[in-house]
Amino acid sequence: MTELDALLFGEIDPPQRLLMGPGPVNAHPRVLRAMSADLLGQFDPEMTEFMNQVMALYRPVFGTQNQWTMLIDGTARAAIEASLVSLVEPGDTVLVVNFGRFGLLLTEILTRLGAKIETISAPWGQVVPLEAIADAIERVGPKVVATVHGDTSTTMAQPLEGLGSLCQAAGATVYVDATATLGGMEIAADRWGVDVVTGGLQKCLGGPSGSAPITISDRAAERIFARRHVEQGIRRADIVDGAGPRIASNYFDLAMIIDYWSDKRLNHHTEATSMLYAARECARVALGEGLDARFARHRKAGAAMTAGLRAMGLRVFGDDAHRMTNVTGVYIPEGIDGEAVRTTMREHFEIEIGTAFGPLQGKIWRLGAMGYNAMKHKVLLTLGALEACLKAQGFMLPLGEAVPAALATWEAE
């Protein structure tokens, strides 16, 4: 082997691993095929038509009629940061509904933006009651209320029915991070009355990480356009700056990004063409299946996973009433090396399950069944592999019970 051969490393040939953690998950083959299509120039009429199609496809996925429904180039966190940096001015009071790691992430980003942060929290494994949110809104008078819908760190889903009306009555804008639930649980942006909702492809939508769908209400767009300041090199007479303070990020400036996706086609950035193809196909797959059928499939998968884990004698983490349908947390049995089990599952079965963060690190595993992986046989394979790995670690469990319990639950749902 020459020095050049060593430097080139060889062609990528990853293992055919079944990703049954909290995300990312295996991408749908149709999405991978779409990503291999030829690139186009960013202002080709075919390309801008694909952009328009993406906007139309994601409106029903978000449960909205919002005109400004589009993509942010970057992982799901890019859309989170774009939303907050474009909505929140330094000194604004923001109420964060926090029940896990990703509520804390909202606080982290807002701290960097110079917001005045108020928090209403629930212990990990629970959610925040709407009444407590209402009391906090009345107490602090926030400009923005920010929450996560489904927090994979705790496997809990925050109920959002009624939140929008509370915030509108108080004159507050609502931001929702739906990264982990978009395409797997109902997102009803219009019915909920929430203003900005963001997602990601790599979980329930069954795509790769790297493109983040977003929808923005007219009310939120008006607030964002009040801060519009087009960069000097692309200024145009038909785009007028707002009177408010400049949005602190250029890349994540939603005013300029909206103008790029609008008929103005402002040359803000070069769209990530292959990721747009992926996002387009993710939505086509979801809508082709039917959203209600897709949500039911995720419910079946989550219920089956939970039933199988309990049939092994394991204790499931968190509040059953508010568990996400696509991710299940389970306590690692006492005396069992959780990382050794994960390693054995990966090395012997090519199945990945998730570890945990913060106060739950080393205490629970997180098992996901979402998108292309929310399938009966993949849930059963995962449970069978986990049973074998636990037995190999010396854990005494009722052998052969998990798969039948999961199967029965799947059929009953």
Could you report the per-residue pLDDT of 81-128, keeping only the tens digit for each?
999 999 999 999 999 999 999 999 999 999 999 999 999 999 999 999
Residues 262 and 378 in one domain: no
Strands (E), 122-179: 144-148, 150-151, 156-157, 173-177
**Is 24 within the bounds of a domain?**
no
Residues 185 and 58 in one domain: yes
What is the CATH number for 171?
3.40.640.10
* Best CA proximity match to 56, nearest among 299, 223, 261, 270: 261
Give residue 101's pLDDT.
96
Task: Band the pLDDT of 290: cuts 50, 70, 90.
Answer: very high
Residue 407 CB contacts under 8 Å (≥ 6 apart), including other chains: 304, 376, 380
Residues 176 and 205 in one domain: yes
Give residue 6's pLDDT.
74
Residues 299 and 268 in one domain: no
The distance from CA 167 to its chain's CA centroid, rounded to whole angstroms, is: 23
Residues 120 and 150 in one domain: yes
**Angle formed by the axes of helices 254-261 and 218-225, nearest 10°:** 120
Residues 277 and 305 in one domain: no
What is the CATH number for 351?
3.90.1150.10
Residues 295 and 267 in one domain: no
Digit-coded pLDDT (tens) for 208-250? 999 999 999 999 999 999 999 999 999 999 999 999 999 999 9
Is residue 1 over pLDDT 90? no
Residues 296 and 255 in one domain: no
- Tally the domains of the chain: 2
Q: What is the mean pLDDT of residues 382-407?
A: 96
* 148 touches 176 (CB < 8 A): yes
**Is 201 within the bounds of a domain?**
yes
More confident residue, 309 or 10: 309
**Is 6 within the bounds of a domain?**
no
CA distance 16 to 67: 40
Half-sphere exposure (Cβ direction) of 129: Cα atoms closer than 13 Å: 3
0.95 surpassed by pTM = yes
Give the domain-ending residue among 237, 261, 286: 286
Residues 271 and 324 in one domain: no
Q: What is the mean pLDDT of residues 255-271?
A: 96
**Is 214 within the bounds of a domain?**
yes
Q: Is 366 annotated as a binding residue?
A: yes
Residues 229 and 320 in one domain: no
